[in-house]
Amino acid sequence: MSAIINTRSPYYVNMSRSSALSVKVNLRIYSGLQSALPATDTYSLIKNTSDNGGTVTEYATFEISELIRDYIYTDYYTDAIDAVWVRVERTFYDGLNGTGSTLSGGGTLYYLAIDGFGYFEEGVNPRTSIDPDDESYTPMTLQDNLTVYFVPGEQITLPFFSEAEPLIDFTFSGGAGVEWQALDNFWETYDGLWNSSLDDVQIEDSTDSLDKIQYIGIFPTNNIKTGDTATVTSTTGTAQTQNIVFKALCAGKYPDVKIVFYNKYGAIQELWAHKKSVKSLSTKSETYNRNIMDYAAVDYSIYKHATSRFDVNGRESITVNTDFMDESINDPVKQLLLSEQVWLDIGTDTYPVVIKTSSLTEKTSVNDKMVQYTFEFEYAYDKVQNIR
């Protein structure tokens, strides 16, 4: 099983060796097969060691997650590099700044890096393990809410971590009319050739970093009923079992808005805003006073702009509301507010957006009976096309 780096949180690698005065760390960051190692190093870092006043073995600590993030990216509908391999090669020296003789005790470490993050409460280097016996671990279902709200007729897409090789057993009251498919990318949609829901879904692991985060698409969904379930069971490593419960949202009079965002596990997750939505436009511009005088005629046209406007542009915003849900939605809502990449699916169109809602009061069934949230998003581009 891979040691995991969540690159939105700092990741510290500590190198120690008695009598070493410096240490060099060579990083090779790459995607694809773990065996397809690049020919050259991506980064080479050198630090002199410290002995903390002689109380501990000489050591040097490197923070490497910022260097790795440059190699994880998403071009929506095109490509997603959501996990990369990181090879860390260590070399100790008996001289300062990587000089002198090479000492024994070096070696090579491998990591799997994803663009996730940990909470402060999870401590240093969060979720390096996928073992549920660890206090901080990466689960096989890569989202915290196991109650999945969906809009009947719309595809359901769920993220999974392949290293547990989860086996997914769907129990749909609608029977074989519901189909599923393992997807490499979140945005892949039903093509009419998916598998029967009567068959279990086995997600298989590989040494390809691009296979580490996989998605299961489910469609058609009109026959899925509230209370239908999926049981997810690990088939590799420490035993894990998770129960997903599906809940259908009632038809509304407003357009359905699907919020798509990267969650804290470095996976894309969906959340429906099913109630009232309102769009607005804000503009900005500059003005100047223009000379409209015709001196030859000693006159001016009253139809000309004496005050002229220029550099006019605007941004559209949309305010959306979720349906009433249970408290399981609270963690995804936190992660949405903390997400750096968000899109909205409205009808057949997808829009990149920036969430403008910067604070929310967490709602609970005790205080609020039912949980419902309002979000404001700004479209991530100017209304007047000005890309140069």
pLDDT at 251: 77
Tell whether the model's pLDDT for residue 93 goes beyond 70: yes
Tens digit of pLDDT for each residue in 38-61?
999 999 999 999 876 655 678 899
DSSP secondary structure string for all residues of 318-342: EEEE---B-GGGHHHHHHHHT-S-E
Average pLDDT over residues 97-110: 92
Residues 315 and 351 sit within 8 Å (Cβ to Cβ): no
Q: Beta strands 147-150 and 73-75: pairing type? A: unpaired
Residues 273 and 373 in one domain: yes
Residues 6+ apart with CB under 8 A from 193: none
pLDDT at 339: 97
Three-state DSSP at 7 gives: coil
pLDDT at 34: 96
CATH number at residue 208: 2.60.40
Residues 6+ apart with CB under 8 A from 305: 290, 292
pLDDT at 56: 62
Cα diameter, the chain: 93
Tell whether the model's pLDDT for residue 388 goes beyond 90: no
Tens digit of pLDDT for each residue in 115-140?
999 999 999 999 998 888 888 889 99
Whether 277 is in a domain gets the answer yes
Q: Which domain holds residue 32?
A: 4-122
Q: Which of 375, 374, 381 is nearest to 314 (CA)?
A: 381
Residues 202 and 105 in one domain: no
Residues 6+ apart with CB under 8 A from 158: 141, 143, 148, 215, 216, 218, 244
Whether 156 is in a domain gets the answer yes
pLDDT at 365: 65
What gap in Å lies between CA 328 and CA 271, rounded to an integer?
12
Whether 131 is in a domain gets the answer no
Residues 61 and 13 sit within 8 Å (Cβ to Cβ): yes
What gap in Å lies between CA 214 and CA 192, rounded to an integer?
20
Q: Which of 240, 232, 173 is nearest to 203 (CA)?
A: 232
pLDDT at 54: 58
**How many Cα atoms within 13 Å fall on the side-chain side of residue 229?**
6
Tell whether the model's pLDDT for residue 152 goes beyond 70: yes
In the block, tokens 């240490």 appear at 23
The DSSP output letter for 15 is E
What gap in Å lies between CA 328 and CA 336, rounded to an integer?
14
Residues 262 and 360 in one domain: yes
Q: Tell me how many helices (H) and strands (E) the chain has.
A: 3, 27
Phi, psi dihedrals of residue 262, rounded to the nearest 5°: -85, 125
Tell whether the model's pLDDT for residue 252 goes beyond 90: no
Residues 277 and 380 in one domain: yes
Query: 85 forms bridges with which residues in the sheet?
Result: 30, 112
Tell whether the model's pLDDT for residue 368 goes beyond 60: no
Q: Judging by beta carbons within 10 Å of its beta carbon (0-12, 13-18, 19+), is residue 388 exposed, middle or buried?
A: exposed
E runs forming strands in 213-341: 213-219, 229-233, 241-248, 257-262, 268-273, 277-289, 293-294, 299-300, 307-321
**What is the helix (H) or strand (E) element at residue 362, kind and residue range?**
none
Instruction: Give the residue from 122, 155, 178 where a domain finishes.
Output: 122
Whether 307 is in a domain gets the answer yes
Tens digit of pLDDT for each residue in 166-199?
999 998 887 668 899 999 999 999 998 898 877 8
Residues 388 and 266 in one domain: yes
Residues 31 and 88 in one domain: yes
Say what the pTM is: 0.92
What gap in Å lies between CA 214 and CA 83, rounded to an integer?
11
Q: Where are the alpha helices (DSSP H) in the chain?
A: 65-69, 330-337, 365-368
Average pLDDT, the chain: 92
Query: 211 forms bridges with which residues in the sheet?
Result: none
Tell whether the model's pLDDT for residue 248 goes beyond 90: yes
Dig out the tokens for 173 from the structure: 């009251």
Average pLDDT over residues 231-241: 92
Residues 232 and 275 in one domain: no
Instruction: Give the residue from 248, 276, 298 where a domain finishes.
Output: 248
Query: Looking at the 3D structure of the chain, how many domains does it have?
Result: 3
What gap in Å lies between CA 135 and CA 206, rounded to an integer?
26
Proportion of the chain above pLDDT 70, given as a percent:
97
Q: Which of 160, 273, 177 is nearest to 225 (CA)?
A: 177
pLDDT at 124: 93
CATH number at residue 341: 2.40.30
Average pLDDT over residues 270-294: 93
Dig out the tokens for 119 from the structure: 């909470």
Q: Which of 246, 269, 181 is nearest to 218 (CA)?
A: 181
